[in-house]
Amino acid sequence: MIFRQLFDSASSTYSYLLASRRGGEALIIDPVLEKVDRYIQLLNELDLRLVKAVDTHMHADHITGVGALRDRTHCITVMGEQTKADVVSMRVSDGERLTIEGVELDVIYTPGHTDDSYSFALPDRVFTGDTLLIRGTGRTDFQNGDARAQYDSIFNRLLRLPDATLVYPAHDYKGDTVSTIAEERAFNPRLQVKSADDYAALMASLHLPNPKMMDVAIPANMHVGLAQGAVAARGWAVSAAEAHALVGRPDVVFVDLREQCERERRGVIEGSIHAPYPDLADHLRQGGLLQRTGAGKRLLFYCAYGERSAMAVQAAQEAGLTSARHIAGGMAAWRIAERALVA
């Protein structure tokens, strides 16, 4: 496996680049905006194709790099389902798997630092975000933080991972880079408590100053979404209500860009074909699935929220499929329109 731990000294943030092989797909966890050039250079040097950029939670101390990475690599942006960030094109929830070629991460919901905090585990290591730090834990005093929830996330989820599991946090302020579950259980001063109440009392006694970047970072991190408006302005968007009227039309092909796990959880539009977004470039090549399917027909892309489909419709237009459109707002908007139709 290719594994890189990258550091942003301004915010003391660790970002992690994962891939199974040179020339293959890559995933990055907690990228920082100011470091995006560095990530792109490293991806090129290692001959990797970034397909997913993941934030463990809404950060308050730096501006996320996921939006810039999406703009430059057309990768999928991923956060947990509770997030309020508009950048996200795929939302994951507890118990799901986050996958790229050759790498499968278990998705663990670990609220407490924020209500959208997630950890991501491989068999030998876990990326804990700001839930569990090395000899510390993430603060719980803002962003819907909750010390009791964090106690539960740490003691009943993370500390139940095998003792030797490597712990890779989103930050370190002292120069440590990695720990293990057993080490943290034994030596993390915040974890030497008897109960959730003890832990909550400990966290309440900290009285930490707000992060320097908080007033800038949180609003910025909430609004880095792709301008679906720009795609709409070019006439390439169809509203969910309009799309409902196109079901069953022989000249329209609905194209589902989501992954299999999303289709199973959220359902599919009847009669649609499945062409996952990471394979889009292959499908749009001469002779590819979408070139063949789109001949003489209108392709109507959809995904979860309209982010991947907005990128896909631009790529399809560039590949000569000028009648391609996408469903604005994706499956989320489709379901709302569906309820309106029934009512």
Of the ranges 128-136, 198-206, 259-267, 316-324, which one interacts with Fe ion (CB under 5 A)? 128-136
Smallest gap from residue 201 Cβ to Fe ion (A): 22
Smallest gap from residue 179 Cβ to Fe ion (A): 18
Of the ranges 6-14, 127-135, 216-224, 332-340, which one interacts with Fe ion (CB under 5 A)? 127-135
Smallest gap from residue 213 Cβ to Fe ion (A): 11
Residues 88 and 128: their CA atoms lie apart, in Å, by 20
Q: Whose Cβ is closer to Fe ion: residue 115's or residue 130's?
A: 130
Smallest gap from residue 171 Cβ to Fe ion (A): 7
Task: Write the CA distances from 21 to 47, 78, 134, integer angstroms.
Answer: 9, 22, 29
Cβ proximity of 325 and 299 under 8 Å:
yes
Q: Whose Cβ is closer to Fe ion: residue 194's or residue 207's?
A: 207
List, edge to edge, every strand of the sheet that includes 2-8. Answer: 2-8, 13-19, 25-29, 49-54, 76-80, 90-92
Among residues 119, 213, 221, the alpha carbon closest in space to that of 169 is found at: 119
Smallest gap from residue 312 Cβ to Fe ion (A): 31
Q: Whose Cβ is closer to Fe ion: residue 128's or residue 228's?
A: 128
Residues 313 and 184: their CA atoms lie apart, in Å, by 47
Of the ranges 43-51, 124-132, 290-298, 311-319, which one interacts with Fe ion (CB under 5 A)? 124-132
Smallest gap from residue 58 Cβ to Fe ion (A): 8
Of the ranges 129-137, 254-262, 297-305, 317-325, which one interacts with Fe ion (CB under 5 A)? 129-137
Residues 25 and 3: their CA atoms lie apart, in Å, by 12
Residues 213-242 that bind Fe ion (CB under 5 A): none
Residues 341 and 119: their CA atoms lie apart, in Å, by 39
Of the ranges 21-29, 87-95, 122-130, 333-341, which one interacts with Fe ion (CB under 5 A)? 122-130
Residues 210 and 10: their CA atoms lie apart, in Å, by 16
From the list 130, 172, 259, 262, which residue makes contact with Fe ion (rule: CB under 5 A)? Answer: 130
The number of beta carbons lying within 10 Å of the beta carbon of residue 115 is 18
Instruction: Give the chain's largest Cα–Cα span.
Output: 68
At residue 97, φ and ψ (nearest 5 deg) are -115, 140
Smallest gap from residue 66 Cβ to Fe ion (A): 14
**Residue 52 is encoded by which pair of tokens?**
């997913």
287 in helix, strand or coil? coil
Q: Whose Cβ is closer to Fe ion: residue 130's or residue 307's?
A: 130
Smallest gap from residue 129 Cβ to Fe ion (A): 7
Q: Whose Cβ is closer to Fe ion: residue 96's or residue 130's?
A: 130
Q: Whose Cβ is closer to Fe ion: residue 54's or residue 100's?
A: 54
Q: Whose Cβ is closer to Fe ion: residue 116's or residue 130's?
A: 130
Of the ranges 126-134, 216-224, 248-256, 282-290, which one interacts with Fe ion (CB under 5 A)? 126-134
Q: Whose Cβ is closer to Fe ion: residue 145's or residue 329's?
A: 145
Among residues 154, 148, 160, the alpha carbon closest in space to that of 202 is found at: 148
- DSSP-based helix, strand, coil % in the chain, nearest 5: 35, 25, 40
Smallest gap from residue 142 Cβ to Fe ion (A): 10
Number of residues that bind Fe ion (CB under 5 A): 1
Interacting residue ranges for Fe ion, rule: CB under 5 A: 130
